[in-house]
Chains A and B, each alone.
Chain A
Amino acid sequence: METLLTPALKEIAIDAVIGVIKLAVIFNVLLLVFSLMTYIERRILGFMQFRRGPNRTGPWGILQPAADGIKLFFKEELMPEGANKFLFFAAPVVAIITAYVSLAVVPYGGPLVLPFYGPVSLFGRPINIQIADLDVGILFIFAITALGVYSIVFAGYASNNKYALIGGLRSSAQMFSYELALGMSWVSVIMAAGSFRLNDIVAAAERMNPWMWLLIQFPAFVIYMIAACAEVNRTPFDLPEGETELVAGFHVEYSSMKFALMQMAEYINMMTVCALASNMFLGGWLSPLPGVIPNSPLWFFAKMGLLLFVFIWLRATVPRFRYDQLMNFGWKRLIPAAAIWVVLFSGLTAVFGEKKTPPSTVAIIAPAAGQVSR
């Protein structure tokens, strides 16, 4: 065996093993976090509305997600008559695929450093908690989350149900409208970091100081959070689902595990936008007191958890928009605000910011080409 493994092959084998381990761990941790999220959300909503929330299954009701999961597995599959069978099955599968694949480039706390232990390594290599470290990081996420609209359109169209169709249409129009503002809110971050890679963005925040970074990116952060809330169909913008008018929107006709997959995709998308915000605006795994407390992935999870809590909090507090208010707000307020911020930020950077290289053609094209080809 030893003779068969040339050094190059051995490298590839080690990388593949590390990749598989990371993938398995991240995949399963996300699944666990998803099930905990459903419990925590119901619990927090309960407390905010002066009731108890689920508290019967296990200590403090913590086994509720497991009970729900088992129940959903044994539920009967229903398919409405006249439904498009293939698309009806494809919608939840597409939802899960897009939700998971968009997570591939999100760094979950950079290099794995445990408190009281130090950096963790596997086969003599430092571990970076990230599935794929792509150069096009942000663009990749933008592309994949945009594909997520398909699952909603498929579900709405395939169900042969009026509520589902209206929900699907509303949802696609809403996601299109807010995607513009979402995309534009990233521009100032890319500009300040000079890279699409999320690791580089956190490194740029580290060079500047995370608090300063948040301060100069604050308008973009606010625009991002509003648009992200609309992108994942959370409460002030949950018109596609609006229980009181559309029953459940695009997934009315879904039952059993297909329903669970739709819900799971929604929660995973929510985690993605929170993880992104935490990396792009809040400095990811950097500690809030640089130099005093060490950086750790725990900071990343704390920041992400805080943002998830804000989403739950919003759900308990804010009433739903009317559809015309939603579209007006998106097109007439949020998009102009995002565009003005891009102009303002780029103007200030051009006048006061650091200059990197003299603007000659070679200097412009070479780094750009390097970014793409690497």
Chain B
Amino acid sequence: MTPHAATSSLPPYFPVVMLFLAATGFALFNVILSWLLGRPRPNAAKSSVYECGVPSVAKLSERFPIKFYLVAMLFILFDVDAAFLYPWALVFKELGLFGFVEMMIFMGLLGAGFAYAWKSGAFEW
């Protein structure tokens, strides 16, 4: 497709798998080596949770502000829609004006949802 396209007899994802293995090996090697060289000698003070030198008072809360859940939900909504933009952008030149109008309808609906979320205060932190 390009002047530089290198042909290879190996499956295209083969180097990715090799890189994955190399990175995993590298990370494990480092973690294990540093564990061997600097052996943990824990005591009560050392393994206490760090809170700037003050003894930890309360247990870790499992309850978070609702805002974080809202952001996660909005992200899923709009990210899935953004994913539709990629294949459309890929074949855009073949689609021409027809593809543009089609996508504008979709983006309009998406924009209406975005405006509603904005109006109802979902983006107020």
Query: Which residues of A come within 8 Å of B, CB atoms?
Result: 8, 11-12, 15-16, 19-20, 22-23, 27, 72-82, 89, 92-93, 96-97, 99-101, 103-105, 110-111, 125-126, 128, 131-135, 138-139, 159-163, 165, 169, 172-173, 176-177, 179-180, 183-184, 186-188, 190-191, 194-197, 199-200, 203, 247, 252-253, 256-258, 260-261, 323-324, 327-328, 331-332, 335-336, 339, 342-343, 346-347, 349-351, 353-357, 359, 363-364, 367-368, 371
Once the chains bind, are A359 and B94 in contact (CB under 8 Å)? yes
> What 10 pairs between A and B have smallest CB-CB spacing?
A257-B34, A100-B23, A324-B125, A350-B100, A176-B75, A96-B27, A132-B15, A191-B89, A190-B89, A93-B27
Once the chains bind, are A80 and B49 in contact (CB under 8 Å)? yes
Once the chains bind, are B20 and A359 in contact (CB under 8 Å)? no
Which A residues touch B55, using CB under 8 A? none
Of A20, A93, A324, A353, the residue contacting B28 (CB under 8 A) is: A93
Once the chains bind, are B16 and A134 in contact (CB under 8 Å)? yes
Q: What are 16 residue pairs bridging A and B, where the CB atoms are less than 8 Å apart in the complex? A: A19-B10, A19-B15, A76-B38, A79-B42, A82-B49, A96-B23, A101-B19, A103-B19, A162-B56, A200-B2, A252-B50, A253-B49, A256-B34, A328-B125, A346-B103, A367-B91
A327-B71, A347-B100 known; A77-B2 Cβ under 8 A: no
Which B residues touch A74, using CB under 8 A? 34, 37-38
Q: What separation, in Å, do the CA atoms of A99 and B111 have in the docked complex? A: 33
Which A residues touch B6, using CB under 8 A? 125-126, 128, 133
Once the chains bind, are B107 and A132 in contact (CB under 8 Å)? no
Once the chains bind, are A346 and B92 in contact (CB under 8 Å)? yes
A76-B40, A371-B90 known; A97-B20 Cβ under 8 A: yes
Q: What separation, in Å, do the CA atoms of A104 and B13 have in the docked complex? A: 10
A78-B46, A179-B79, A368-B87 known; A19-B93 Cβ under 8 A: no
Which B residues touch A349, using CB under 8 A? 92-93
Once the chains bind, are A367 and B94 in contact (CB under 8 Å)? yes
Once the chains bind, are B123 and A328 in contact (CB under 8 Å)? yes
Q: What separation, in Å, do the CA atoms of A354 and B92 have in the docked complex? A: 11
Q: What separation, in Å, do the CA atoms of A138 and B86 have in the docked complex? A: 10
Q: What separation, in Å, do the CA atoms of A328 and B80 have in the docked complex? A: 21
Once the chains bind, are B60 and A162 in contact (CB under 8 Å)? yes
Of B1, B24, B46, the residue contacting A97 (CB under 8 A) is: B24
Q: What separation, in Å, do the CA atoms of A331 and B86 have in the docked complex? A: 20
Produce 1/0 per residue, B1-14, CB < 8 A to A: 11111101110111
Q: What separation, in Å, do the CA atoms of A103 and B74 have in the docked complex? A: 29
Once the chains bind, are B40 and A368 in contact (CB under 8 Å)? no
Smallest CB gap from A253: residue in B = B50
Q: Which size class do B's interface residues fall under? A: 35 or more
Smallest CB gap from B79: residue in A = A180
Looking at A92, A159, A176, the one whose CB has the most chain B CB atoms below 10 A away is: A176
Which A residues touch B95, using CB under 8 A? 359, 364
Once the chains bind, are A8 and B94 in contact (CB under 8 Å)? no
Which A residues touch B41, using CB under 8 A? 76
Smallest CB gap from A20: residue in B = B18
Looking at B12, B22, B30, the one whose CB has the most chain A CB atoms below 10 A away is: B30
Which A residues touch B56, using CB under 8 A? 162
Which A residues touch B92, using CB under 8 A? 191, 194, 346, 349-350
Produce 1/0 per residue, B89-115, CB < 8 A to A: 111111111111001100100010010
Output the least CB separation between B68 and chain A (Å). 5
Q: What separation, in Å, do the CA atoms of A191 and B3 have in the docked complex? A: 20
Smallest CB gap from B9: residue in A = A11
Which B residues touch A79, using CB under 8 A? 40, 42, 47
Once the chains bind, are B103 and A176 in contact (CB under 8 Å)? no
Output the least CB separation between A135 and chain B (Å). 8
A15-B10, A160-B49 known; A23-B90 Cβ under 8 A: no
Output the least CB separation between B101 and chain A (Å). 8
Which A residues touch B87, using CB under 8 A? 368
Once the chains bind, are B37 and A331 in contact (CB under 8 Å)? no
Q: What separation, in Å, do the CA atoms of A30 and B76 have in the docked complex? A: 33
Q: What separation, in Å, do the CA atoms of A121 and B56 have in the docked complex? A: 61
Q: What separation, in Å, do the CA atoms of A66 and B91 have in the docked complex? A: 49
Output the least CB separation between B121 and chain A (Å). 12
A80-B50, A349-B92, A359-B94 known; A19-B14 Cβ under 8 A: yes
